[in-house]
Amino acid sequence: MRIPFSPPFVDDDVLKEVEDTLRSGWITTGPKVKALEHEINQLTGCQQTLCVNSWTSGAILTLKWLGVKAGDEVIVPAYTYAATALSVIHCGATPVLVDVLTDFTIDPAAVAKAITSRTKAIIGVDIAGLMCDYDQLKEVVNRPEVQSLFVAESEVQSKIGRIMIIADAAHSIGAKYKGRNAGVCADVNIFSMHAVKNITTAEGGAISLQLPSNFDPKAVYDLMRLWSLNGQTKDAFSKSNGSGWRYDILFDGLKVNMPDICAAIGLAQIRKYSGQLIKDRAKIANQYETFFNKKGWAQPPTLKDGSRESCYHIYALRINGITENERDAIIEKITAEGIAVNVHFIPLPMLTAFKDKGFNIQDFPVAYGNYAREISLPIYPQLTKEQVDQICTVVEDSYHSIKASEKTA
């Protein structure tokens, strides 16, 4: 029987919520989006949340709001999905890549070394659902010598008075860091609700604000909402409610709002996330851990440590003592058995667009080591205990068969 990698969670409640939207006569940004924003505020405890149509557009919007432009630098880990760096490039700025730690998160010491007078923001990535050390990143940007380098060139930058910390929380909704939820650990925290993520709206993203106390979060929300709707003073929903036809365009906004028809899917899922869906994921992760912990050749990922708890988005297994080619051969074997696996991620310096910008993977040895030995196993609520057993067996057999064939070769 084939086991897919990450099918979306669609139950009767999801279908009902979507049908309700279709029958309501309103399918784009309106009451379902507001309700989803409210649920994310409740789940994370953040100040305000704005839903948009992807993580990527949420990041571009955030950087534009911050005033990031050509000549500016934003520090990004080499080990992430391309969107983290592309969002910087789309604002005309330069992504500065740094290496990561063996737990996959950005290396704060490498960040400190990469800061210049042009640095406007740092984007940490909560890979697999395990959060970055945000307190350490804050400590770095608050160092007097780093503060004195900082040049504020926009109203928002003056207000923050230091390098902004942004969380690429694409994987981490529901995760915890020092008792705090994903969504409140950086100044701006951006979730993805793409089809494969823990909570999905097919395509979607959410910007959760946890700004310093000199900001008015509701005013920032209102401004970001304008940014997401062409900078237009009146949205389609309020116009349809008969509150007048006249509108103005205040600035060159984007068009990246989330439709209600999409929000409906995520709304039905988030209502059962803490109570059910995340627990189902934890159960699977723990079943993998029990199996792989006993295998000397396997390096199970960190699910929990003294300060963090994952939200079990990706199960990033690594295999000890193998090359990138051996990893590829193991994946081929697993796939031939009908089990879909993945690699998260190919480090950015190995991709054409980033090679063309002069990045070289040899400068990011930890990222390469994490990547070369990594295999992401299926993890989602619909998986049964028997399927997880089957995956474990197939992974083990595939590993041994590749190792045995190497010996005889």
Ligand X SMILES: *Cc1c(COP(=O)(O)O)cnc(C)c1O
Question: What does DSSP assign to residue 354?
Answer: H
Residues 6+ apart with CB under 8 A from 331: 341, 343, 375
Q: Binder to ligand X among 205, 266, 347, 349 (CB under 6 A)?
A: 205
Is-contact 257 228, C-beta < 8 A?
yes
Q: Binder to ligand X among 130, 170, 182, 319 (CB under 6 A)?
A: 170
Stretch that binds ligand X, among 63-71, 75-83, 209-217, 236-244 (CB under 6 A): 75-83
Q: Minimal distance in Å, beta carbon 104 to ligand X?
A: 10
56 touches ligand X (CB under 6 A): yes
C-beta of 150 vs 205, nearer to ligand X: 205
Residue 30 CA to its chain's centroid (Å):
25
327 touches ligand X (CB under 6 A): no
54 touches ligand X (CB under 6 A): yes
Q: Minimal distance in Å, beta carbon 357 to ligand X?
A: 19
287 touches ligand X (CB under 6 A): no
105 touches ligand X (CB under 6 A): no
C-beta of 322 vs 375, nearer to ligand X: 375
Of 32, 36, 13, nearest to 270 by C-alpha is 36
Name residue, tokens 């979730």. Answer: 191
Phi, psi angles (nearest 5°) of residue 81: -80, 150
- Residue list 171-190, contact with ligand X (CB under 6 A): 171
d(CA 101, CA 391): 28
Is 146 exposed, middle or buried (CB count within 10 Å of its CB: 0-12, 13-18, 19+)? middle
The residue count for binding ligand X (CB under 6 A) is: 14
194 touches ligand X (CB under 6 A): yes
Q: Binder to ligand X among 9, 26, 79, 81 (CB under 6 A)?
A: 81
311 touches ligand X (CB under 6 A): no
Q: Minimal distance in Å, beta carbon 199 to ligand X?
A: 12
How far is the first Cα of the chain from the last one, in angstroms, to the nearest whole number?
Answer: 31
User: Which residue's Cβ lies closest to ligand X?
Assistant: 55
Name residue, tokens 């099918």. Answer: 7
- Residue list 124-143, contact with ligand X (CB under 6 A): 125
d(CA 188, CA 209): 5
Is-contact 80 109, C-beta < 8 A?
no
Of 345, 274, 291, nearest to 314 by C-alpha is 345
Q: Binder to ligand X among 80, 157, 189, 370 (CB under 6 A)?
A: 80
Binding residues for ligand X, per CB under 6 A? Answer: 54-56, 80-81, 83-84, 125, 168, 170-171, 192, 194, 205
